[in-house]
Amino acid sequence: MASAHVAWIGLGSNLESPAAQLASALEALARCDAIRVLAASSFYRTVPVGGPPGQPMFCNACAAVATPLSARALLAVMHGIERAHGRIRDVRWGPRTLDLDLLAVDALRCDEPTLQLPHPRAFERAFVLVPLAEIAPALVLAGYGRVADLAAAIDRQGIERWDGA
């Protein structure tokens, strides 16, 4: 894969067999010719953050990928995978079959309405930092700090390893 970028992706689901949705999304990423999955974290059961009350628990994970795609092109692929998994964007932070967030791409910084890198809320969310620290503890989220340090300082209440149930 020529001139590959390394990108980190957050995965989440709280509808229709969440762990199976994440496993299927990882397989879909791996099937893309322009994407090579380098690592995937364990799955975690997490409480919903924001959005409407009464949502089911989430299953979250993170993955590292290598790709020659630009950040925008990778994000377009990710949105296509979400759609293929029945993702409907109707309620912000609401229940979803699959949510793929582009957390960071190399050390790229971008602050545009449709693309913000690193992800502007990644540094404050245990459901991102705990799995991300598993696969990329030395990663520095530009402007926020090293993932291992951020994860060590985050409140881990409401996050535990997914037990498969």
What b/e string do you get for 68-94 counting C-beta neighbours within 10 Å, with b at 16 or more? Answer: ebebeebbebbeebbeebebeeeeeee
**Which range marks the domain in which residue 33 is found?**
5-156
- Reduced to 3 states (helix: H, G, I; strand: E, B; else coil), residue 152 is helix
pLDDT tens sequence across 94-150: 688 999 999 999 999 999 999 999 999 999 999 999 999 999 999 999 889 999 999
Residues ≥6 apart with Cβ < 8 Å to 113: none
- Provide the domain count of the chain: 1
Confidence grade of residue 158 (pLDDT, cut at 50, 70, 90)? confident
pLDDT tens sequence across 3-23: 799 999 999 999 999 999 999
Mean pLDDT along residues 55-84: 96
Q: Is the peptide bond before 118 cis (omega within 30 degrees of 0)?
A: yes
Within-domain flag for 73: yes
> For residues 51 and 159, which has the higher predicted lDDT (pLDDT)?
159
Mean pLDDT along residues 31-54: 93
Within-domain flag for 25: yes
Within-domain flag for 161: no
Catalogue the active-site residues: 87, 96, 99, 101
Give Rg (Cα) of the chain: 15
Percent residues over pLDDT 90 in the chain: 78
Within-domain flag for 164: no
Within-domain flag for 48: yes
Q: Are residues 117 and 109 in contact, defined by beta-carbon separation less than 8 angstroms?
A: yes
pLDDT tens sequence across 110-119: 999 999 999 9
Give the whole-angstrom CA distance, residue 159 versus residue 30: 27
Q: How far apart are the first and last CA of the chain?
A: 37
Please give the pLDDT value at position 91: 62
Please give the pLDDT value at position 127: 95
Length of the chain as a residue count: 165
| Mean pLDDT over each residue of the chain, to the nearest integer | 92
Within-domain flag for 165: no
Within-domain flag for 61: yes
CATH of the domain at 91: 3.30.70.560
Mean pLDDT along residues 33-50: 94
- Asked if the model's pLDDT at residue 165 lies above 60, the reply is no
Within-domain flag for 162: no
Return the structure tokens found at 158. Answer: 């409401």
Give the residue from 117, 114, 134, 127 showing the smallest Cα distance to 11.
127
